[in-house]
């Protein structure tokens, strides 16, 4: 079987688990967000597609529509709270409900903290942290009403701070605390809140990260054996929503790292120097 292919892909079209559900996926014009949009859409959800670049968003929209997925375009910068409120209002005006929110959009700054200008650190940290907090705050009353799901996309950097990724790691770790607080606060509301610690994933060719000089740079590809496909990650996210899982560490490598971090963090500190 070709890698990434579903054993029972024939039954997928029949499986409309999310039929009638409205899902907002932030940063869904490319990469993991786009794969989640395709996965939830193929399982019957109507997808509110978000990103800042309208041309990229339009291209992804055409791709989804060709696959028979119903969509609504909600462009905008999710690091701005008023924009998040407008996005949610547009969805409610159009459909009257919001059932699923996946906070996926974020940017990364790469470089040692000592050399990273503080404004670049803050931009990346804001994107990682408030890029989830703002959409959650804007969508919470509607997701609570629908007893729906919120999934925050974190990373292995949310389990252990990675070198050259201090702002990224801080933002992802802050999401752990945020999700835990919400899970306890909302335990009787019928809402589901989950956090996904995604492992190394094959990057979209369009993916760029900020370097120390504030330039957008291509990301070097990691060895294929270390990476999951975006489609595999997307299936894991759909599973979290279906089974209302609160926490999931992705990939065999991620699960092994999680164990090393928990029991022998000094070993992980040595390994992580190679990242």
Ligand X SMILES: NC(=O)c1ccc[n+]([C@@H]2O[C@H](COP(=O)([O-])OP(=O)(O)OC[C@H]3O[C@@H](n4cnc5c(N)ncnc54)[C@H](OP(=O)(O)O)[C@@H]3O)[C@@H](O)[C@H]2O)c1
Which chain residues interact with ligand X by CB under 6 A?
Answer: 26-27, 29-33, 50-53, 56, 77-79, 104-107, 127, 131, 153, 155, 198, 200-201, 203-204, 207
Nearest to 39 by CA among 72, 61, 57, 64: 64
> Shortest distance, CB of residue 154 to ligand X, whole angstroms?
7
Measured from the CB atom, the residue of 203 and 232 that comes closer to ligand X is 203
Coil, strand or helix: which one is 195?
strand
Measured from the CB atom, the residue of 32 and 48 that comes closer to ligand X is 32
Measured from the CB atom, the residue of 163 and 190 that comes closer to ligand X is 163
> Shortest distance, CB of residue 8 to ligand X, whole angstroms?
26
First-to-last CA distance in the chain?
Answer: 31
How do strand 100-103 and strand 22-25 relate by DSSP bridges? parallel
Q: Is the dihedral of CA 224, 230, 232, 237 positive or negative?
A: positive
CA distance 26 to 136: 11
> Shortest distance, CB of residue 233 to ligand X, whole angstroms?
8
- Whether 21 and 44 have beta carbons less than 8 Å apart is answered as yes
Active-site residue 168, yes or no?
yes
- Residue in 129, 130, 134, 168 annotated catalytic: 168
> Shortest distance, CB of residue 13 to ligand X, whole angstroms?
25
Measured from the CB atom, the residue of 27 and 194 that comes closer to ligand X is 27
Nearest to 176 by CA among 148, 153, 143: 153
Catalytic residues: 168
């Amino acid at each position: 079987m070709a890698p990434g292919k579903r054993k029972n892909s024939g039954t997928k079209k029949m499986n409309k688990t999310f039929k009638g559900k409205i899902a907002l996926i932030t940063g869904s014009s490319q990469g993991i967000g786009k794969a989640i949009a395709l996965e939830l859409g193929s399982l019957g959800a109507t997808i509110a597609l978000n990103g800042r670049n309208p041309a990229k968003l339009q291209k992804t929209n055409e791709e989804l529509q060709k696959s028979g997925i119903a969509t609504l375009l909600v462009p905008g910068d999710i690091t701005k709270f008023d924009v998040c409120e407008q996005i949610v209002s547009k969805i409610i005006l159009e459909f009257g409900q919001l059932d699923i929110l996946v906070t996926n959009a974020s940017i990364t700054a790469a470089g040692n903290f000592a050399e990273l200008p503080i404004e670049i650190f803050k931009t990346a940290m804001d994107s990682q942290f408030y890029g989830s907090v703002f959409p959650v705050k804007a969508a919470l009353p509607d997701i609570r009403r629908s007893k729906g799901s919120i999934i925050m996309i974190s990373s292995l950097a949310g389990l252990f701070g990675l070198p050259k990724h201090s702002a990224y790691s801080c933002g992802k770790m802050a999401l752990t605390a945020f999700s835990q607080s919400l899970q306890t606060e909302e335990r009787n509301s019928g809402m589901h809140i989950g956090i996904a610690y995604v492992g190394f994933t094959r990057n979209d060719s369009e993916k760029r990260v900020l370097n120390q000089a504030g330039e957008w740079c291509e990301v070097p590809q990691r060895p294929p054996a270390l990476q999951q496909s975006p489609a595999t990650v997307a299936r894991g996210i759909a599973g979290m929503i279906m089974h209302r899982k609160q926490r999931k560490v992705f990939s065999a490598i991620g699960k092994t790292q999680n164990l090393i971090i928990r029991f022998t963090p000094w070993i992980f500190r040595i390994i992580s120097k190679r990242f």
